[in-house]
Amino acid sequence: MLGPFLETLIGGLLTGVLYSLVALGFVLIFKASGVFNFAQGAMVLFAALTLARLTGEIDGREVHLANFVIAAAILGTALAFVGWYAWREYMARGGGPAERNRMAVLAVVGAVIGGAVAWFYGKGSWPLWVALPATAAIMGVLAYAIERLVLRHLVNQEGIILFMATLGIAYFLDGFGQTLWGSDIYKIDLGLPKAPIFLFEDVFPGGLLVEPGDLVAALIAGLLVVVLAIFFQKTRIGRALRAVADDHAAAQSVGIPLNTIWLIVWTVSGFVALAAGVIWGAKLGVQFSISLIALKALPVLILGGFTSVPGAIVGGLIIGAGEKLSEVFLAPILVRQFDLAGGGIENWFAYMLALIFLLFRPQGLFGERIIERV
Amino acid sequence: MGLRKLALMGAAVVAAGIATSATAQGPNEQFIPGLIYRTGAYAPNGIPFANGVADYYALINERDGGINGVKIVYEECDTGYATDRGVECYERLKNKGPTGAAYVNPLSTGITFALTEKAPIDKIPVISMGYGRSESRDGSVFQWNFPLLGTYWSAADIIMQHIALKEGGFDKLKGKKIVLVYHDSPYGKEPIALLEKRAKMHGFTFTPMPVTHPGVEQKATWLQIRQNRPDYVLLWGWGVMNSTSIKEAAAVGFPREKLFGVWWSGAEPDVRPAEGGAKGYHAAMLQHGAGQFGVHADLKKYLYDKGKGVAKWDETDEVLYNRGLVNAMLGVESIRTAMKKFGNKPMTGEQVRWGIEHLDLSAARLKELGFEGMLQPLKVTCSDHEGTRAGRIQQWDGAKWVVVSDWYQSDDKVIKPMVDAAAKKYAAEKKLPVRDCSKES
C-alpha cells in the first residue's frame, strides 16, 4: 500500500509543479497590476505554437505560403497601427528622446522579427537555440501590443474592466494563434529522456515510477521561482512593480512610469508562459488543449494566494498531490460506499481542497493580508 | 388605356408570374449542413474528417454535376465539439436551401443527444455514423436517428470478440481484469452497459475509469492501472485524450498490444504524437481504415489535379479523411435513394429520411462508387438503422496502420435485447409513438 501511495504522491507533486508554472504567470501580472489575466492560458498556447512552428518541419510549402501572406498582412496591419499610434503619441508629447528611443527599439524588434519570419519560411525549420529567443522576442512584442492597445486606455479603471479586457485578449490570442500557426498537433522536441525511472526497486515491488520529463520541468520551475523572487524583492523594478500593484494612481504620483512597468510585467509573464508552453508542449504535443491547462492553475491560485510567488509553488504541490491522491484512493471508496454514479473527482476535488484552505486563510496560503481602513 | 400601357402591364404580369414560380420551385440545389470543427481542443481530429466530407461533396458536383443533376450546396459550421455551439449551428442551418437541410451529421455524441429531440419536430434526419446513442438503431422508436455502420455497443463487442479470440474463447476471460479508460461524457459512457453485461456473462472484472475533458491530465488513471495491472485496457477517447493515454501507457509500461481503442481512438493524430510509444497499439475500425481506394483516383482527377481539394494530397489516405468520405457518400446515396421514389429534385428532410431507411448498398454498388475495400454491403431497414455491424481490428506498427484481424460481426444475441429494452424505456420516458416496422414498406 505504501508503494502505490508514494508513487501517486510523487506523481502528483511533479504534476503540481507543472500547474505552478502556469500559475506563476497569473501571479506575476496580478502582483504587479492587480489584474487577473484570463489570457494567461492563451499566452501559453500562443508561445508554444510559435516555438513549435518555428522549430518544426514545414511541409506543403504552397499552402503555408498562402497562410503566410494572410498572416503577414494581418501582422503588418497590426504593426502599422501600433506604429501610427506611437507616432501620434510622440507628436502629441512634443517628441521627447525617451519616446523616440522606444520607437526605435520597436522598429528594430519589428524588423528583426519580420526578417526572421521571412527567413523561416525560406529556410524551413530552426534549431531550438534560435527559435527560443525568437519566440521570447515575439512574446515581448505581444506584451508591447497589449500594453499599447488595451491596458494603457484602462489606467485607473475598475479591476473588473481590466479582467474583461483580458478575457477579450484570451479569445483573440486563441483564435489568432490558430489562424496564424494552424490547429494541428505540433511537436516540441527538447530531447528529454522518455523512459521512466524506477526508484527503490528493492524496497517496493516494481519500484516507484518517476517520469524524467516531469523532473526536468520541476527543476525549471524551481529555477524560475528563485529568479522571480530575487527580481521582486531585491531589484528597483521589483519594488516599483509592487508599488503599482497596491495603487496605480499613487504609484504614478510618485513618478513610477506605469506604462513601462506594465510592459515589463507582461513581457516577463510572456516568458513564463513560454516556459510553461515548452514544458507542456513537449509533454502533450502543442495544440489548443494546452490553453485549458490554465484552468488547472485556478485552484492553485485560490489556495496559494494571487500575490505570492512561493504560494504558487506550494499551492501547486498541494493541489497536484491532493487531486491525484483523491482520484486514486478516495474516489473508489466514495463510489463504493455511497453507490455513486462515478466519474472523475480530481477536477472538482482540487477546487474543494482550495476552498477548505480558504476557510482558514481567506487571503490564500501566502497571500498578503488586505487591511482597508474605511 | 393605350395599347402600349396594356402591353407593359401584360409584360409585368408575366414577369411577376415567372418570378413567383421561380421562388416557389427554388433553385435546383440540395442543401447539406456540415457541423464540423476545425478549431478548438479536438481540431486535430476534426480537420481531416471535415476535409473528407467537403471533398466528397465537391467531387459529386464536379464529376456528376450533382446528385442526378441537383447540385449540392454544402455549408460548414464550426461547433468546436461543444454541444451548445452545435445546436446553434443546427438552428442556423436547418432552414437553408430550397428544401431545408437534407440531414445533419452532428459529429459529436453530445450534439447527437441534443438533436435527437429536435429532429422529429424539424423533420430532419440525424446521421450519426459510428457514434450517438446505441439504442437509436431501433428505428421503430428513433425514426429520425441513423447510427450507420456501427454503434458503440457494436464497437465494444467487436473488441471483446477479438480479445476473446486471442485468449482462446470467451470462457478464458474468467478472472481477467479489463479496464475502460473513457472520456467522461455521453460518448465515453456509451460502451459501459455492454461491457458490464459481457463481464457478467464471462466472469471478468470490469472497471470503468473516467478522464475529464479534454484529457490532458491522466496521471492518476494510469498510476492506478500500473498498480492494478489489468489484462486489457479499452480506450474510449477523442482528440488529445487519445495520444495522452497512449503516452501514459508507455510511461507506466502498460503493454500497448493490450491497449484497444474504439474507432474514434484509432487514427493518425492519436498515435503520431506518442511516437515510438504507440507501436503495437490496437484500435477497432469503423469498417474502413487508412489507404487509398477507388474513389481516390476520382478525387485526384477531378479535384486535386485542378487544385480544388481541401486537404493536402498526401493526407487523403488517412483514417479520418476516409471516414469523412464514407460519411458524405452515405448521405449522398441516401438522397439518391429518396430521389428514386420522389423524383430528381431537391429532397426535403422527410424524403431523405425515407431514403436513408431504404438505403441498400450492395458490393457491386460500393465498387461502382469506389468504396470497395473500405466498406461491406449495408442495408438499412425500419427496424435496423445501423445497417451493418461489421468491424475489424488494426494495429499501429510505428509508421502506419495495419489490419490485423478478419471481419467480426457484433453479437446481436447480446446486443438486441439491450437495444430493445433501452429503446422501449426511451419511448416511454419521452412518450413517443412506436412504429410497427412489420407494416412499413
CB pair distance less than 8 Å for B269 and A184: yes
Residue A166 lies in a domain: yes
Least confident of A234-243, B72-81, B173-182: A234-243
Residue A39 lies in a domain: yes
Q: What is the pLDDT of residue B279?
A: 95
How many angstroms separate the CA atoms of A251 and A267, rounded? Answer: 20
Q: Which of A185, A295, A347, A351 to mutate to test the interface with B (most CBs of B within 10 A)?
A: A185
Residues of B in contact with A8 (CB under 8 A): 220, 223
The answer to whether residue A67 neighbours chain B at the CB level (below 8 Å) is: no
Question: Nearest CA to CA, how far is A311 from chain B (Å)?
Answer: 22
Question: Nearest CA to CA, how far is B312 from chain A (Å)?
Answer: 7
Delimiting residues of CATH 3.40.50.2300 domain(s) in chain B: 25-150+290-388, 153-285+394-411
Residue A152 lies in a domain: yes
CB pair distance less than 8 Å for A328 and B223: yes
- Residues B271/B398, Cβ–Cβ less than 8 Å: no
Any idea of the CA torsion for A350, A353, A358, A363, to the nearest 10 degrees? -50
Question: Nearest CA to CA, how far is B267 from chain A (Å)?
Answer: 13
Which CATH number does the domain housing residue A317 bear? 1.10.3470
Q: How confident is the model at residue A88 (pLDDT cuts 50, 70, 90)?
A: low
- Quick one: what percent of chain A has pLDDT higher than 70? 78
Residue A82 lies in a domain: no
- How is residue A365 written as a grid cell? 496560503
Q: How far is CA A35 from the centre of its chain?
A: 14
pLDDT surpassing 70 at residue A4: yes
How many angstroms separate the CA atoms of A219 and B198, rounded? Answer: 47
Residue A347 lies in a domain: yes
- Cα-based distances in Å from A340 to A335, A350, B330: 5, 19, 41
CB pair distance less than 8 Å for A196 and B216: no
Residue A97 lies in a domain: no
User: Which pLDDT tens digit goes with each residue over B371-384?
Assistant: 999 999 999 999 99
Q: What is the pLDDT of residue A135?
A: 85
CB pair distance less than 8 Å for B219 and A324: yes
Q: How far is CA A38 from the centre of its chain?
A: 10
The answer to whether residue A147 neighbours chain B at the CB level (below 8 Å) is: no
Q: Which of B216, B314, B320 to mutate to test the interface with A (most CBs of A within 10 A)?
A: B216
Shortest CA distance from A189: residue in chain B: B273
Task: Find out whether the peptide bond into B214 is cis, omega within 30 degrees of 0.
Answer: yes
Q: What is the pLDDT of residue B438?
A: 87
Residues of B in contact with A194 (CB under 8 A): 250-251, 277
CB pair distance less than 8 Å for B220 and A342: no
Nearest to B50 by CA among B333, B299, B374, B311: B311
Q: What is the domain class of B25-150+290-388 according to CATH? A: alpha beta
Residues of B in contact with A15 (CB under 8 A): 217, 219
Residue A104 lies in a domain: no
Nearest to B348 by CA among B90, B103, B21, B139: B103
pLDDT surpassing 90 at residue A90: no
Shortest CA distance from B39: residue in chain A: A183
- The more confident residue out of A103 and B119 is B119
CB pair distance less than 8 Å for B38 and A183: yes
Q: How confident is the model at residue B20 (pLDDT cuts 50, 70, 90)?
A: very low
Residues of A in contact with B250 (CB under 8 A): 194
Mean pLDDT for the stretch of residues B267-283: 91
- Residues A241/A264, Cβ–Cβ less than 8 Å: yes
CB pair distance less than 8 Å for B220 and A8: yes
User: Which pLDDT tens digit goes with each residue over A19-58?
Assistant: 888 888 888 888 777 788 889 999 999 999 888 887 775 4
CB pair distance less than 8 Å for A183 and B210: no
Residue A90 lies in a domain: no
Least confident of A230-244, B122-136, B354-368: A230-244
- How is residue B70 written as a grid cell? 441537383
**Taking the CB of residue A148, how many other CB atoms lie within 10 A of it?**
19
Q: How confident is the model at residue B10 (pLDDT cuts 50, 70, 90)?
A: low
The answer to whether residue A287 neighbours chain B at the CB level (below 8 Å) is: yes
Average pLDDT taken over every residue of chain A = 78
Residues of B in contact with A330 (CB under 8 A): none
Mean pLDDT for the stretch of residues A220-243: 80
Structural domain harbouring A331: 8-57+125-201+208-360
The answer to whether residue A207 neighbours chain B at the CB level (below 8 Å) is: no
- Neighbouring-strand partners of residue B205: B177
- Contact partners, residue B409, CB within 8 Å, separation at least 6: B389, B390
pLDDT surpassing 60 at residue A269: yes
Nearest to B244 by CA among B277, B216, B276: B216
Residues of B in contact with A344 (CB under 8 A): 184, 210-212
CATH number for the domain formed by residue range(s) B153-285+394-411: 3.40.50.2300
- DSSP-based three-state secondary structure for B206: strand
Q: What is the pLDDT of residue A50?
A: 87
The size of the A-B interface in CB pairs under 8 A is 103
- Out of B212, B215, B252, name the one closest to residue A209 (CB): B252
- Out of B39, B210, B223, name the one closest to residue A344 (CB): B210
Q: How many domains does chain A have?
A: 1
Shortest CA distance from B239: residue in chain A: A289
- Residues B261/B232, Cβ–Cβ less than 8 Å: no
- Out of B227, B243, B253, name the one closest to residue A285 (CB): B243
The answer to whether residue A56 neighbours chain B at the CB level (below 8 Å) is: no
Mean pLDDT for the stretch of residues B189-197: 95
CB pair distance less than 8 Å for A323 and B273: no
Residues of A in contact with B219 (CB under 8 A): 11-12, 15, 324
